[in-house]
A and B are shown apart, each in its own frame.
Chain A
């Protein structure tokens, strides 16, 4: 590891090592002790409660022993569809650990975690952060038996497949074609800063983290800032359930991520870069680190980066610690600074005051990869894909009820129906794009194209990178409850509508699930969802009810079939038997 090399490019306060230090403790002892807390508080001259606050924010940090082998089974929807319950039982049986704790000997700890970026290979789990995919009960038994026998975990873990099924009809596509290190960097000087930014402008590249903010505007704003040093951050937190495109990009072409960051650094005048990698992808850490080292060895990172005089830039890799909201750019910055991952207000933007209050560009993995390719191939090549207002291609992670789950690089303009055909969708019924925070689609929308902006069509799908397909046998309420639980737990908890709102939503959905709801409940669900959308502080709370609002509208028949119809009913749904069950049990 060469974090020191990178850190010499920016004087980061010691506190920024907080997460790394916590990881050391967690890995060594499988928990973080009181003494560790005291040590860190002393080292960083902060109060112990502050350290505790950080530890308790991230769900991969434990204050109690989490087992010599810590198992995290994914409980996202795609896992549920592929037999989560059986796998959980199998783990409990084989390890003798109950979910949420360790077995009596402390060998195995069994915990649940949301999407781990392997939706095309579910059910999947991480054991000591090594991936295990396509689990079945036999496989679980085999894994646990081997671990008990002392077989090294790296020998038995899986090596997740890339599953790239489609890279446009034209060849070679944009993202996955061969790439020679340095081929974008070598073009920078000729382009100059303004040329780099212009290329992004001309290709209308916009943020692939889901918000589609024009990338050139962000880079330009950072370039215009006078404060130095400046920082480039790559958001590799990929937490949106069902999304795994960034994972595959880092598996297949990590060089294009690095080179995109270098191009950005060149354009804005940054000297320090940071890749914030979600800890679910710890197994990718060494691969990316090796790629970085290769760049340093070749003189493509470091002093006079790429042989460009006065261009000194290096990149540090930072692991997260289990928190979806840390994908939100300002929460990510807080987390990278060694704090709780609480999103900031909009009082300042990251390009003004970002990492350590320095001007900072935060972009998604795919955005950087695209920037690299635009510089490598030129803008005409990029524009020869896609449609007028949405040039280029988009990588979509497809999973759920289909024959070929995996990665699809589509040209903007392709219709939903085409993609469903390509992936062998099996009786698609409820189609989730961009994960739970995106929109819900039905087969009636098969003719709708994927696009960033409206064009000759009226409706379009602005897909951030995931398409999760559910067939008719899947229970819509189970999906919605899974989402609500996810948001309830992943909310950072500092603003009222999201912290409390997701809780209320879950309660209401449970009421519907128990057959007690009336149309008033449905109406309230809709209103509360809108309140959350309009008043939440960050994108998490604002989008947490997107799917719900969509579903209530597009699947109104479904809700009508399961709620009480009598509008004039004076009694409210109430389950007396359930309410006196405790009492009956107690008296016996």
Chain B
């Protein structure tokens, strides 16, 4: 047996065996250190994702490439470290193009799971919208480069029976992607191929015909979270409110969105009656009031910004509302409409009006009139146009989620969002 040694994690003394991996030791002792590239069976550790960054003997460093030794002092849960690790996961979301509602891996995805665990509502980084082709050319697999976080697992771990690597990084810098060898891939057994898909922490490697083995709702991360606050409801403090609360005014708008968030807003059954007691809707598709005639307490924004009219509407909301809340993925980072962001505008317009299947041959024009809104070069996030005070993620967010958050903003009501209300996919 290896030598027993003492280390300290967040001030707690831990007796363990020398030379073991710090991530494992921490986990066994109840310390959660996020990790995305670390995989127990791969020696030596990959150290690529950096989401396990801690303070080790006073210096920043990844826990997964640290062998424990006598006297090691580790800080895991300091606020700056938590924020840093969260930032790294946010980077991954902003760098790739992750549309979870249409992803085969949803619910089984380590990256998505980490997003929930770290409570990411929005990435602080601007979405890069890099144009990447999906590679359908391999016999058995599809490489969805938009989802790859370059963790290196597949590169190091997946070999066929000839001992050859099936995956390898290509290019470098911001152009790096994981290439797949079509010939070597053919030689993988079914088990090896499925292992590749499973070892991938995201939905970047999809084996044809095998990705829906487990239905949504029953997947690895569908039911539970390690975060206690996602699992235990907080008692509402609304009965402590003295008397009837002052009625507040809400405005809502759907910019470039599908109206799904508005539908969700109304999807609270009988509670809607309570809500109507507490708030009145001003400018909103719900009331069909078109112009602001008074200031509002809260503005709820659905949808992204795709034309000049959206910009003006959003600015008007900012002017007229004390608080502005972006609801749903489109408003938060562009969402589905932003799928056009990696394609030049001219191509989009031609595809939509001239070349699409429903356009009649010889009878097609691109409508243009001075009163029509002008398309922007790309789809913008709401916060790129005006300051946004709060973000409620989801596609669409659950009605409970929206109202709990809004009530909290207006009357300071306590609330908790349960994992089941938060996890939509």
A residues bordering B, Cβ < 8 Å?
Answer: 45-50, 52-53, 56-57, 323, 325, 340, 342, 345-348, 488-497, 499-504, 507-508, 524, 528, 531, 534-537, 569-572, 574, 576, 578-584, 586-587
Question: A531 vs B174: C-alpha distance in the bound complex, in angstroms?
Answer: 18
Binding stretch for chain A, among B48-56, B207-215, B240-248: B48-56
- How many A-B pairs fall under 8 Å by CB? 197
Instruction: Tell me whether B311 and A53 are in contact (CB under 8 A).
Output: no
Q: Which 5 A-B pairs have the closest CB atoms?
A: A493-B176, A49-B181, A53-B168, A345-B47, A534-B60
Mask: chain B, 292-333; 1 = CB below 8 Å from A; 0 = not:
000000000000000010010001001100000000000000
**1/0 contact string of B383-421 vs chain A (CB within 8 Å):** 111110000000000000000000000000000000000
User: Quick check: is B175 within 8 A (CB to CB) of the other chain?
Assistant: yes
Q: Which of B178-207 contact A (CB under 8 A)?
A: 179-181, 183-184
A42 to B362, CA, bound (A): 54
A57-B171, A534-B60 known; A499 vs B50 contact (CB < 8 Å): no
Contact A493 B315 (CB under 8 A): no
B385 touches A572 (CB 8 A): yes
CA distance A546 to B92 in the complex (A): 23
A496–B92 CB distance below 8 A: yes
Picked from B45, B181, B383, the residue with its CB within 8 Å of the CB of A572 is: B383
CB distance from A529 to the nearest CB of B (A): 12
Chain B neighbourhood of A503, CB < 8 A: 95, 128, 174
Contact (Cβ within 8 A) A49 B375: no
Question: For A45, A57, A507, which residue has the most chain B Cβ atoms within 10 angstroms?
Answer: A57
| Bound-complex Cα distance A583 to B132 (A) | 24
**Could you tell me if A46 and B170 are in contact, using CB atoms closer than 8 angstroms?**
no
Contact B167 A49 (CB under 8 A): yes
Cross-chain contact B377 with A528 (CB below 8 angstroms): no
Q: Does B71 contact A (CB under 8 A)?
A: no
Q: A48 — which chain B residues lie within 8 A by C-beta?
A: 181, 183-184
Give the one of A495, A537, A584 with max B CB within 10 A.
A495
Q: Is the CB of B311 within 8 A of A47?
A: no
Report the nearest A residue to B65, measured CB to CB: A345
Of B91, B128, B171, B375, the residue contacting A496 (CB under 8 A) is: B91
The prevalent SS among residues of A at the interface is helix
> Would you mind naming 18 contact pairs between A and B with Cβ atoms under 8 Å apart?
A46-B165, A47-B168, A52-B168, A346-B61, A492-B173, A493-B175, A493-B176, A496-B50, A496-B92, A499-B95, A531-B88, A570-B319, A572-B384, A574-B380, A574-B385, A578-B377, A580-B308, A583-B377
CB distance from B94 to the nearest CB of A (A): 7
Q: Which of these, A325, A500, A580, contacts B377 with CB under 8 Å?
A: A580
**Complex alpha-carbon distance, A494 and B180, angstroms:** 17
List 20 additional contacts besides A569-B387, A576-B311; criterion CB under 8 Å.
A47-B164, A48-B184, A52-B179, A53-B169, A53-B170, A340-B172, A348-B44, A488-B174, A492-B176, A495-B47, A499-B95, A500-B128, A502-B174, A503-B95, A504-B126, A571-B386, A579-B380, A580-B374, A582-B377, A583-B377
Evaluate contact between B168 and A50: CB separation under 8 angstroms. yes
The residue in B84, B166, B174 that gathers the most chain A C-beta atoms within 10 A of its C-beta is B174
For the side of the interface on B, what is the size category? Answer: 35 or more
Residue of B nearest to A584 (CB): B374
CB distance from B341 to the nearest CB of A (A): 12
Assembly CA distance A524 to B124 (angstroms): 9
* B152 sits at the interface (CB 8 A): yes
Identify which of B166, B318, B376 contacts A571 (C-beta below 8 A): B318
Q: Which residues of B contact A345 (CB under 8 A)?
A: 44-47, 62, 65
* Contact partners of B170 in chain A: CB under 8 A: 49, 52-53, 56
Chain B residues closer than 8 Å to A570, beta-carbon distance:
318-319, 386-387
**Please, which residues of chain A bring their CB within 8 A of the CB of B124?**
524
Chain B residues contacting A488 (CB-CB under 8 Å) are 173-174
- Residue B349 CB within 8 A of the other chain: yes
A49-B168, A535-B84 given as contacts; is B374 within 8 A of A496 (CB)? no
**8 Å CB interface, B30-53 against A:** 44-51, 53
With A and B bound together, what is the CA distance between A342 and B51 in angstroms?
Answer: 19
Task: Report the separation of the CA atoms of residues A122 and B179 in the bound assembly, to the nearest whole angstrom.
Answer: 38
**What residues of A have a CB within 8 angstroms of the CB of B169 in the complex?**
53, 57, 340, 342, 493-494
Q: Is the CB of A537 within 8 A of B176?
A: no
Cβ B150 vs Cβ A493 within 8 A: yes
Interface residues of B in 117-134 (CB under 8 A from A): 124-126, 128
**Which of B48, B175, B375 is the one whose CB lies under 8 Å from A495?**
B48
Kindly report which residue of chain B lies nearest to residue A59, judged by CB atoms.
B172
